[in-house]
Amino acid sequence: MQKGVIAAGSALTAEAGAKILREGGNAVDAAVAAAFVSFIAEIGVVHLGGSGLANLYDAQSGKSVVYDFFSNMPGLGDAERTHDDLDFSETIVRFPGTSQSFYIGHGSVAVPGNVFGLCQMAAERGTMPLHRLLEPAVKLARDGFPMNDFQAATCRLLTPIYTATPSMREVFFENDTFIEEGERLLIPNLVKTLQRLGEMGAEEMRSAGRIGRNLIQDQASKGGLVTAKDLDAYRVLQNPALRVTYRDCEVLLPPPCSVGGVLIAFSLKLLREFDVAGLGVNSAELHALLFNALQLTARARRELDGAVLDGSFGRFVDTFLSDAYMRDYVHDLQSAMGEMRPISAEPPRPTHPNTSHFSVLDGNGLAVSITTTAGESAGHIVPNTGFIPNNMLGEADLNPLGWHKWQAGQRMPTMMSPLIVLQNGNVRLVSGSGGSERIRSALLQTITNTIDHQLPLGKAINLPRVHAERDTVQLEYGQETGDQLAAWGFTVNQWQQPSMYFGGAHSVAHRENALRGAGDERRDGHVAFA
């Protein structure tokens, strides 16, 4: 009998989870071990100092829960602090074809949730001691590892941030050259930090713990907002999943603080009014439908964002997803597809690629879907810890009110949407993605490819994707499809090859009495079995 399967954004991450499964751990144990390894092995996209969401489902009991360990706005107990003296500076990152502005520094750091969430999951849902779950990460931190081409390229993309301070240059820019493929990555002091986490658990992140104490001192002395009260008051939230029926399946999505989960539910409710399977795999008609559904969802998001900003997000979700609210949107989509014309939507906020996802399914039907992010990192390492903080307060899409406008202690919103699909109470699909705005388009297509088109998992994930950006169809290759869309009046930006821009939906599934897994090739996806 198979003990489990994990799909992740690196071979090292996937193998760490599979090793725990082979040793008798469950899917939660494997997920926790893999997450801590990912903060090293996938250092181009995630860090220990970030935050995340985890979606869990147990097929044996039929119970599901979403662990919300996303970031809080810092500043509790520090009413006298002004924003005039914050270490908060703009940096420009040049992506292929565009440039984007980010803010980094100590004033960009939000309260980090990763350690709190992962430790609590291990204690409540795992079966193995935390120190054993951290052994793969400790070994990797001690021995280092040769950077592969994907991680080296991702780090190099963020050169202005990864070389912003002496502490970062020590790791990524030795002898005046940026770390390259094949060179060994080592982070000073990280081994000791991980070992103490294994012994102390989440208390190590509180104000009395070594990481927490160093973080607070570093923040206070160098223009940050995170306080002792922020760390001591932080709580991991546990909420029921948001459930939406799609064909003969049920999709479990994260509720608020996840804006992404609510928007995916909205898009699925639009698509279920159409014969998606009848449009054919990867056809121009299918891409037109997906684009227009995404555009209408973006249009509806304006009102959802208003609820986020005024504090009524949680209460508004039922209304937002009600048949009465959606009726006009369904009519607009039917009308546009009847005339085969594009739908216009407001431009979205700027987005970023720095998110990672992995999916785990064990032989007993326990499924875990986890997405984490640290933004691009704050551009420094907390002294004596190897701890790289996030820059959530420097992300435009997470701060629509303007910089540092959230109320201290408030949970920030996120597009992350780790999901689980059930069929007759059994796990059909465990998925999620990195990619900010592209998360929902990547997952929407993963779901339709799996459920409507009945494609094998690898093909469902790695088929060309479409994304709606402003009023442009971002099409991930397929010249004939692009030409047909253009002939119908769609504005098309034709990509010539797969790109991490379109997300990374590393997924696992249970099909035909066997566990399956597939890594998204756009983001160095790997699968490991136990």
Task: Please tell me what DSSP assigns to residue 420.
Answer: E
**Is 355 a catalytic site residue?**
yes
Dist. CA 436–CA 433, nearest whole Å: 9
Tell me which of 91, 154, 193, 355 is the catalytic residue: 355
Across 320-425, where does the E strand assignment appear?
A: 355-362, 366-373, 419-423
**Angle 222-371-474 from CA coordinates, rounded to 5°:** 100
Q: Which string of b and e fits 509-521 if b means at least 16 CB within 10 Å?
A: bbbeeebbbbbbe
Residue from 154, 60, 70 nearest 417 by CA: 70
Cα atoms found within 13 Å of the Cα of residue 462, Cβ hemisphere only? 15
Using DSSP bridges, classify how beta strands 51-58 and 63-69 pair: parallel, antiparallel or unpaired: antiparallel
Strands laid side by side in the 426-431 sheet = 242-246, 249-253, 419-423, 426-431, 507-511, 514-518
Cβ-in-10-Å burial (0-12, 13-18, 19+) of 186 comes to middle
The 10 Å Cβ neighbour count of residue 287 is: 25
Q: How far apart, in whole angstroms, are the C-alpha atoms of residue 417 and residue 264?
A: 8
**Between the CA of residue 356 and those of 333, 436, 501, what are the distances in Å?**
32, 10, 13
Torsion of CA 299, 432, 139, 51, to 10 degrees: 40
Catalytic machinery residues: 355
